[in-house]
Amino acid sequence: MNERVAIVGIGWYGFRSITPELSYKEIMYEAAVRAYADAGIDPRTDVDSFVTVAEDFDEGTSIFDEYVPDQIGAILRPVETIPGEGLHGLATAYMQIKTGLLDIVVVEGHSKVSNILHPSHITAYAMDPIYNRPLAANPYFIAGLEMQRYLYETGNTHEQCAQVVVKNRGNALLNPLAAHPAEITVEDVLNSAPVAEPLTRLEIAPEADGCVVMVLASEQTARALTDKPVWLLGVGWANGSFNLENRSWVDLDYVRITGEMAYRTAGMRYPRGTLDFIELDDTFAYKELQHLEALGLCRPGEAGYLTLEGVTSVEGDFPVNPSGGSLGFGNLLDASGLARALEVVLQLREEAGTRQLPDVHIGAAFGWRGLPTTSAAMVILGNED
């Protein structure tokens, strides 16, 4: 088995609410060309396997992996599509390299969510067809139920959730990649239109188009290719209970298990003290708090307080979502996890420009597949040898 695996190249296209100037094939090509240039490789000769992340109904095409190989230079090569979170794709590439059979693996994930005319109908089509879908309710009700119960049990407040939006969309102002930066206040968030009380419109991450491609390599190859390898120290992923009626609405078992696996594979016993920062899913504002607590990065009920106190801001002791998170960067559906990981790589390579965090060595990216799933994945990255 290969010992260690590193990210040796990153490339992206986007991120904006619409991308009418290019087709999905063309944004994939743009991101892939940048990643291959960054890694210094030619996909036609150097890459052993390609992993892409896509869901048929997000793309509007069945068996979407048919439409993937040409634009990322992968024809007549091993190519596999993972219908899952972008970080599930990263974990798959990690496993493929660790077997020793494959040396360089490319991971691709994109969003053309602007091409979906009725996104809520697509999300509703993922719900249980016998017990939940017949209600024909907008799937945001799941987030409404979860947020209400979460605030009720943990004592976090709606203002603290609003502060997450203020922080993340504010962080996005310093991130040229982000699609939805904004200077807003807690009052703006609390007064925005109610969607699924207590959830308001501004607490829902606005969608964005874009593509992320990453090149991973085994240790030996990574050292040959780049002097700034970003090591995959730990990986973790897990599912919870799919049915709405038997899942825990507050302490998310699947997030806890995902974190435990990632920490274990990274040999990390005290994550809060070892991680310098984290990029984690904030598809809904309350989710950032809920995920922080479920990942054991603060005590239950403490996440809201830490956010209001500024501990999780870019100047704070434990920055959360310096990229702007999905709220500021834009919700890329299943590719969101790759956008989180992209930020962690940029920070660890000290290429994050004006939002560069000082002296960072270990960061994590956590992704959730969004409504109505209980499926999460996480990677822990480091820049030290």
Alpha helices in 302-352 (DSSP H): 303-309, 325-329, 336-348
Strand partners, 16: 209
Closest distance to other proteins from the beta carbon of 167 (Å): 25
Mention every residue, 6+ apart, whose C-beta is less than 8 A from residue 306.
292, 298, 312, 316, 318
Query: Which range touches other proteins (CB under 8 A), out of 84-92, 166-174, 299-307, 312-320?
Result: 84-92
148 is a contact residue toward other proteins (CB under 8 A): yes
| d(C-alpha 379, C-alpha 385), whole Å | 17
Q: In the bound complex, what is the minimum distance in angstroms from residue 32's beta carbon to other proteins?
A: 9
Q: ∠ CA 116-118-122 to the nearest 5 degrees?
A: 85
Q: Per CB under 8 A, which of residues 9..28 are in contact with other proteins?
A: 19-26
Residue 38 CB coordination number (10 Å): 21
The reply on whether position 311 binds other proteins by CB under 8 A is: no
Q: Is 71 in the site for other proteins (CB under 8 A)?
A: yes
190 counts as binding other proteins under rule CB under 8 A: no
Q: Are 72 and 213 in contact (CB under 8 A)?
A: yes
For position 103 contacting other proteins by CB under 8 A, the verdict is: no
Residue 70 to residue 73: CA distance in whole angstroms:
5
> Interface with other proteins includes 290 (CB under 8 A)?
no
Asked if 362 and 382 touch (Cβ cutoff 8 Å), the reply is yes
> Contact between 184 and other proteins (CB under 8 A)?
no
Choice from 7, 39, 88, 314 touching other proteins (CB under 8 A): 88
- 322: amino acid identity, one letter: P
Among 111, 163, 171, 265, binds other proteins (CB under 8 A): 265
* Residue selected from 16, 17, 80, 272 as contacting other proteins according to rule CB under 8 A: 80
Q: List binders of other proteins among 201-260 (CB under 8 A).
A: 235-246, 249, 253-254, 257
